[in-house]
Chain A
Amino acid sequence: MATLTKQQIGSVLAKQGILIAFVIFMIAFTIANPKFLTMDNVFSVVRSSAILGVMALGVTFVVISGNLDLSVGSMMSFSTIVVLDLHDKIGPFMAIPAMFAMTLCLGAFIGFLVGYLRLNSLIVTLGMLSAIHGLTLTYSGGQNMDIADKEGTWFSVFGQGTALGIPVPILIFIALAALLGLTLAKTPFGRKVYAVGGNGTAATFSGIPRARTVFFCYLISAACVATAGLIQASRSLGSQNTVGQGLELEVLAAVILGGASLLGGSGTVFKTVIGVLILGFIQNGLLLMGLQFYIQFVVTWVIIILAVWLDIAAKRGKLWSAIA
């Protein structure tokens, strides 16, 4: 029997570590609580992951293009508050496109700063996280937003409805994942996203419009955030100003868990979906084990660190190295 060297074990761990960890988690959870792997529970995990998932789809484009988007959490709060407010003012039929237009404007602004002005995306979107939060609070005057007639609006369909027995949020998630998955994997635009993230200079030298490509990635991200805001608003029909707070990190964790490199140029929509589910199952498992809800913030952080570490380790084929 061949003995594995320390280095080989390290290399396997680095490449498959997150899957191994996930399987161990799943087994441990199932033993701890047999309810974990029931259909009901699986369904509930997917449904509660849909909002995070929709946002992660958009951020996948941004990350593959070699950038970050930390503004999606507060942007989602913005979308939710805006659509709820406009619902009573101009009716849901007009409120939805109006909210999408406003959210896309925010995305276009970020895309302009990062794509055309070539500003560092971390700084820009970290700033926007705070700026959009301020914008939301200004808009709402700091008040929670509620729909007056919660029983009589068709608006609740996006968050609470079902079609063919499947909750609408899951259907939206699946449809959007299919659409964006095809866009990324099969269209010329998708190819350009990989090229720009893989080597922006070489993409430029091949006539690829780098700035425009990055710009559209942020626009896609904003469209996904608007969709997530719509689901959120429709599900609760009322909201605080901070409903999306902290989601930016969870979204990023899901994208990285799926295997997209923070350096850009790699990752797929399908892998991001897996990442979203892993995160959802782990959080759900912790709850079923009877741990406090608040512990999941700590666990999410641990998972992010683990994922980033493994991402880098996979690149250099070692868990630790002094150079490169």
Chain B
Amino acid sequence: MTDAKPVLHLDNIVKTFPGVRALDDVSFSVMPGEVHALMGENGAGKSTLMKVLGGIYQPDGGAIYMGDERVVMAGPLEAKAKGIVFIHQELSLAEELSVAENIYLGELPRKSFGRVDWGLLTEKTNAILKKLNVGFDARTRVGDLSIANQQMVEIARALTVDAKAVIFDEPTASLTDAEKVVLFDVISDLKADGVGIIYISHRMEEIFKITDRISILRDGQYQGTVNTSDTTEESLTQMMIGRKLDLSRNASHHELGDVALEVRGLSCGKLYSDVSFQVRRGEVVGFYGLVGAGRTEIAETLFGLRDAHSGQILLDGEEVRINSPADAIQRGISLVPEDRKGQGLVLGMNCRDNMTLPQVDDLTAGPFVAEGAEVAIFDQYRDRLDIRTPGWKQQVGNLSGGNQQKIVIGKWLSMHPSVLIVDEPTRGIDVGSKSEIHKLLRELAAQGYAVMVISSEMPEVLHVSDRIVAMYSGRIMRTFTSEEVTEDSLIQAISGLGGDKAA
């Protein structure tokens, strides 16, 4: 590989946004026929780098080379014309159109008078689909395909241009194991054709299976490139987070209190079934599983957003019916939702108003909102959670992810709940805030809160939980104490392999 020219070389790329240096002198290159992984935590700059490469952002410094030639990506179309193709995590297909129309969107073959040449279109499309060895044809409506097959359509679209480099952004996020095998086959075919591949993923297993080299970003800075065969999971993690991963287990040293929340035989159609567990005061119970395992749906049921079909919910030993979020809040249940921007915050509102939103009816002086009391609450939780904002008037949308999440947490702590449910508490936030939030969750347990943590990150679950509930496909597979849990047994349990069913 040493004598070949890189298909793509990024040289000292700099990109700044107001207040943030999103990319700070990042360089890396992709050789022909290489699968090059790009790793880093959320917010490390991977997406920004790819947007620079795709012509969506213009870099403030540095240059992009293809072969020997310096190129400027003025826009997405130009990047595509130069042979740089993106397979996005979120698919961008027109569901109502056929596979062929999607693949050649904007470039449909024409006959006279601008009529579409359907024959040629179908023929060309089927030729590509045959190469990908997929089980559908050019006329299939895209909306009828599975997510995996839709992704194949995106890949087929990539193959219509003379691709020099293909970027896969978390391509396996929603694929089954069998579908992954097909995807990896396609990737190795591309590789054999001398295409350079950038592979963005958090999944170590895949990284070690299919990549040749790995480049790591942290906080917008390039940390280095290593050969996949020369590295270990541990050293990669260390490069990504800048220190040894604190995997220490944090079983509570304090006495646990009474059972605050108990769920018995809760079922909701296909989403989850026969779910039973307890959370005691002073305890953090982690819920671990794959996306779609039913964890968020259980949280939504407990918060009054979704009806269970059968089963019981008991608070402090007493059976309750929770019909609405207002009900849940009144009974002392709080939910820090999974989607911070979509569900947690009104981004156009200021920090104070967001934080006091659930209790605005109670914070009144006569008919009006007692703004002084609101500011006092905001100040109290700003100090306690170390929220960094110029003041309460700041629009929440302008804060960093970590500070936004602290506003959501503050919002619920100020309600003094007895059961606190947090769903993906550190998704998309920086490392510093992440460990602060972990510490906070432990502290809250020590103060007697019953805490449910739903997370898809194993280190996080292991780090904060006293007990871990492993879920697979809507069922609890096994409950571990923090002493007995191992990574292997946890992975087995959430993949539906082995693990005796016990709750």
Where the two chains meet, the residues of A that have a C-beta atom closer than 8 Å to any C-beta of B are: 182, 186-188, 191-192, 194-195, 198-199, 201-209, 265-266
Contacts and interface: CB of A to CB of B under 8 A. Distances in A.
B360 interface: yes
Interface string B324-361: 11101100000101000011111111000100011011
B360 A188 contact: yes
A265 B324 contact: no
Contacts of A194: 346, 349, 353
B348 A198 contact: yes
B113 interface: no
B368 A195 contact: no
Interface of B: 303, 305, 324-326, 328-329, 335, 337, 342-349, 353, 357-358, 360-361, 363-364, 367-369, 411
Given A188-B364, A191-B369, A198-B348, A206 B357 contact: yes
Q: Which residue, B328, B335, B337, B343, has most C-beta atoms of chain A within 10 A? A: B343
Contacts of B335: 205
B329 A199 contact: no
Contacts of A209: 324, 326
A198 B345 CA distance: 9
Given A192-B360, A194-B353, A195-B349, 16 more contacts: A188-B360, A191-B353, A194-B349, A198-B347, A198-B349, A199-B348, A202-B345, A202-B346, A203-B357, A204-B305, A204-B325, A205-B303, A206-B411, A207-B325, A207-B329, A265-B349
B360 A202 contact: no
Q: Which residue, A182, A199, A207, has most C-beta atoms of chain B within 10 A? A: A207
B343 A201 contact: yes
Contacts of B328: 207
Contacts of B326: 207, 209
A198 B364 contact: no
Nearest to A263: B348
B346 A205 contact: no
Contacts of B349: 194-195, 198, 265
18 contacts: A182-B368, A186-B367, A188-B364, A191-B360, A191-B369, A195-B346, A198-B347, A198-B348, A199-B346, A202-B342, A202-B344, A205-B305, A205-B325, A206-B411, A207-B324, A207-B328, A209-B326, A265-B348
A266 B346 CA distance: 11
A132 to B, nearest CB: 32
Contacts of B303: 205
B369 A188 contact: yes
Nearest to B368: A186
Nearest to A323: B56
Contact of A266 (B342, B348, B361, B363): B348
B189 to A, nearest CB: 33
Contact of A198 (B324, B344, B346, B411): B346
A194 B350 CA distance: 11
A221 to B, nearest CB: 20
A308 B344 CA distance: 29
Nearest to B362: A188
A216 to B, nearest CB: 14
A262 to B, nearest CB: 14
A207 B346 contact: no
A187 B348 contact: no
B78 to A, nearest CB: 14
Contacts of A204: 305, 325
Contacts of A188: 360-361, 363-364, 369
Nearest to A199: B346
Contacts of B361: 188
